[in-house]
Amino acid sequence: MKIGIVGRPASGKTTLFQALCRGQAQVSHSREPVHGVVVVPDERFDLLVRLYNPKKISPATIDFVDDIARLGTERSRVFSDEAMGELRTTDAITYVIDAFDSGAPDAEAVRAEAMEFLEELSLRDLMIVEGRLERIAKQVRGPQAPAALKVEQDALEKVREALEAGRKVSDLDLPENEARAVAGFQLLAAKPVIFAVNVGEDHISDAPELLGPAMSALQDAGSPAFCLSAEIEKEVAQLPEEEQAEYLAGYGIQEPVRDRLIRSVYERCRLITFFTVSEKEVHAWPLPAGSTALDAADSIHSDLARGFIRAEVISWPDIRDAGGWDQAKAAGKLRLVGKEHVIEDGDCLYIRFKV
């Protein structure tokens, strides 16, 4: 899971990035983006680790990428083609809006900047889609045109129509073959976008009310937003874990930005987590919601999917209440399921396979 952090110059992108990485990532002095791997907080995983005390722990992680916007030097553009190309490789985008240098946060200014960015993503996609459609049109004129080109053309026509009408590309219900045909374009307008509105310390408590109209408008556009003070969050991230909650409470903040942003990413990307547990390793695996037992097996290793026989599944509440896998199994909570079984958030799995 790779999340790009972008925004206008001096909006607080790198400060937010440092808060997410707890100050452990180095600021780049080159033109290369900076990566910081952040552990996904999960109380279920923590309890499993305490139950099993394994030799190895593998929590779910997110790769946050900072300084994408510094790529390229194109005038009159906040984001160069090179920067947009880097953004295409991400799974989701966090856009940071500066609302701390102008006194009280301005809801209309925040809404306008956010909508401008969403329009920019659509325009960049439209340029690529139209260029590709022009090339395809020259190739499909003859009777021997490959069927795959026709599928791609049909899919891109639908994408173009949605982009021109201002509709969300992610809402297109494309047939599986058409979805595969456009997947390689890594469309920016299809990626989840989360807006982080960076406000001053003096307005951290009243910002949600002041920016309410903007937040509602962005939510209606399919892009959630939340307020934060990047400076406060950076300071908090460098405190010992046991002191963070008290420090945040002093500002009326209930949880660190890391938790809020990661939760938003999981919700917008429609991700769940399943677990594999043993005394050797406790591992948390992110998985798209609606995935099957076969998909889960493949995410662990392709051999497990290739030789899949059955999956043993115990739900998280049953593991928790029984005190472990063996205890839950003895209580009759284990289910044997086939490859089409849909995995639920928190399920613990053991894959039976033979290659």
46 inside domain: no
94-149 pLDDT per residue, tens: 999 998 876 677 889 999 999 999 999 999 999 999 999 999 988 877 666 688 88
Q: How many residues does the chain have?
A: 355
| 73 — pLDDT class (breaks 50, 70, 90) | very low
Look up the domain containing 345 and give its range: 290-353
Q: Exposure string (b/e) for 10-37, b if CB count within 10 Å is 16 or more?
A: ebbbbbbbbbbbbeebeeeeeeebbebe
144 plus 95 within the same structural domain: no
Which is more confidently placed, 218 or 27? 218
Could you give the CA distance from residue 271 to residue 280 in angstroms, rounded to a whole number?
Answer: 26
Tell me what pLDDT residue 30 has. 56
Tell me what pLDDT residue 178 has. 93
The two tokens of residue 262 are 């990661």
| 334 — pLDDT class (breaks 50, 70, 90) | very high
Could you give the CA distance from residue 213 to residue 107 in angstroms, rounded to a whole number?
Answer: 6
Tell me what pLDDT residue 69 has. 57
48 inside domain: no
Say whether pLDDT at 163 is over 90: yes
Least confident of 15-29, 84-98, 124-138, 304-318: 15-29
Which is more confidently placed, 115 or 24? 115
76-100 pLDDT per residue, tens: 456 778 888 889 999 999 999 998 8
280 inside domain: no
Q: Of all residues in the chain, what percent carry a pLDDT higher than 90?
A: 57
173 inside domain: yes
Which is more confidently placed, 353 or 26? 353
Tell me what pLDDT residue 29 has. 52
- Decide which of 268, 302, 336 is a domain's last residue: 268
Tell me what pLDDT residue 60 has. 95
Tell me what pLDDT residue 74 has. 47
7 plus 79 within the same structural domain: yes
Tell me what pLDDT residue 72 has. 47
| 345 — pLDDT class (breaks 50, 70, 90) | very high
338 plus 228 within the same structural domain: no
Tell me what pLDDT residue 67 has. 67
154 plus 175 within the same structural domain: yes
CB 24 within 8 A of CB 37: no
CB atoms closer than 10 angstroms to residue 331: 13
Which is more confidently placed, 250 or 62? 62
CB 71 within 8 A of CB 31: yes
Say whether pLDDT at 230 is over 60: yes
Please count the structural domains in the chain: 3
96 plus 8 within the same structural domain: yes
| 27 — pLDDT class (breaks 50, 70, 90) | low
Distances (CA, A) of 43 to 50, 97, 243, 328, 346: 11, 31, 18, 19, 11
The two tokens of residue 96 are 């940071």
79 inside domain: yes
32 plus 76 within the same structural domain: yes
Say whether pLDDT at 247 is over 80: yes
8 plus 90 within the same structural domain: yes
Which is more confidently placed, 33 or 318? 318
- Decide which of 160, 189, 218 is a domain's last residue: 189
8 plus 94 within the same structural domain: yes
Which is more confidently placed, 213 or 74? 213
CB atoms closer than 10 angstroms to residue 242: 7
Say whether pLDDT at 31 is over 80: no
Which is more confidently placed, 234 or 341? 341
SS3 of the chain: CEEEEEECCCCCHHHHHHHHCCCCCCCCCCCCCEEEEEECCCHHHHHHHHHHCCCEEECCEEEEEECHHHCCCCCCCCCCHHHHHHHCCCCEEEEEEEECCCCCCCHHHHHHHHHHHHHHHHHHHHHHHHHHHHHHHHHCCCCCCCHHHHHHHHHHHHHHHHHHHCCCHHHCCCCHHHHHHHHCCCCHHHCCEEEEEEECHHHCCCHHHHCHHHHHHHHHCCCCEEEECHHHHHHHHCCCHHHHHHHHHCCCCCCCHHHHHHHHHHHHCCEEEEEEECCCEEEEEEEECCCEHHHHHHHHCHHHHHCEEEEEEECHHHHHHHCCHHHHHHCCCCEEECCCCECCCCCEEEEEECC
pLDDT winner (highest mean) among 142-151, 198-207, 307-316:
307-316
pLDDT winner (highest mean) among 31-35, 109-113, 205-209:
109-113
178-203 pLDDT per residue, tens: 999 999 999 999 999 999 999 888 88
pLDDT average, residue stretch 322-347 = 96
283 inside domain: no
The two tokens of residue 327 are 């205890």
Tell me what pLDDT residue 144 has. 67
CATH code for the domain in which residue 140 is found: 1.10.150.300
Which is more confidently placed, 207 or 264? 264
